[in-house]
Amino acid sequence: MLKICILLVSALLACPVAQAQVFQRELGDFDLKLGTSPSRSMAQGLVKPTSAGSDSFHGGLDLAHNSGLYFGQFSPSMGISPTSNLEVDSYMGFKRPFDQTLGYELGMIHYSYPKLSPLDSQELYGGLNLLGNRFGASFSNDPDRRDSTLFADLGGTQPFGIGVSMKYTTHQLGAPVSVADGGSISNFSDWSVKFSRPWMGIDLDLIYSDSSLSGGDCSAYSGRNSQCDGLLTLKAERSFY
């Protein structure tokens, strides 16, 4: 029987003490950005460089050409603290809007851990923007698994002012994982649906996530969702500044 968990999250966000710093300038036909936060969201929001860790320094650069070609490098963790490792994310791609209603993006990103080289991985991504709606797909090649993701954000079509986004991922494990009943799991899938709506200055998100695993099989789960079984999350955020 599918286990359903209901979680209520309420967050009041104040302005961070240390604002992210970004330096930007034009170099001929190129636009250069140096900053302490990721400069780019990949594939129309499908792939995004890892968020900054707890180290005292993180940052990178992004260089974009007027033609739509871009490349860059970002380090979300400098590996300064004993509990973190140096990570360097290198990416390149091509992003092109045809007009205000249609555009696309293609690219790849390489996640590198210089002190843990066997953990290096790559991800290919692509995205399409159509009338304000975003669609994307990605394929990641990790040392011990293969993940394929489809993404849709219907931001251009909002009935009753409600935004809808969906994500579906299949996971192929490099080695089967044994479960309690004596069987093994070599592949599984997970998905999530998010409904968003602003209300009186508060951003409300209702998120449902689930996977193809349940019960004892959940011991093999290692997907994108926070839990294996069905989870319903209500999140409310408000910025003071």
Mean pLDDT of the chain: 82
Q: How many domains in the chain?
A: 1
Check residue 19 and give its pLDDT: 52
pLDDT tens string 42-98: 776 567 655 444 445 678 889 999 999 999 998 877 767 777 778 888 999 999 888
Domain that holds residue 106: 4-239
Asked which of 23-32, 53-62, 92-101, 220-229 is least confident by mean pLDDT, the reply is 53-62
Residue 123 predicted with pLDDT over 50: yes
pLDDT average, residue stretch 171-198? 90
Indicate which CATH number applies to the domain containing 181: 2.40.160
In the DSSP assignment, the letter for residue 120 is: -
Check residue 148 and give its pLDDT: 95
> What is the rounded CA–CA span in Å between residue 147 and residue 205?
26
The string of DSSP codes covering 199-227 is ETTEEEEEEEEEES--GGGGGG--SSSS-
> What is the rounded CA–CA span in Å between residue 47 and residue 146?
15
Residue with the larger pLDDT of the pair 101 and 207 = 207
Check residue 91 and give its pLDDT: 92
pLDDT tens string 96-106: 888 878 899 99
**107 CB neighbour count, 10 Å cutoff:** 22
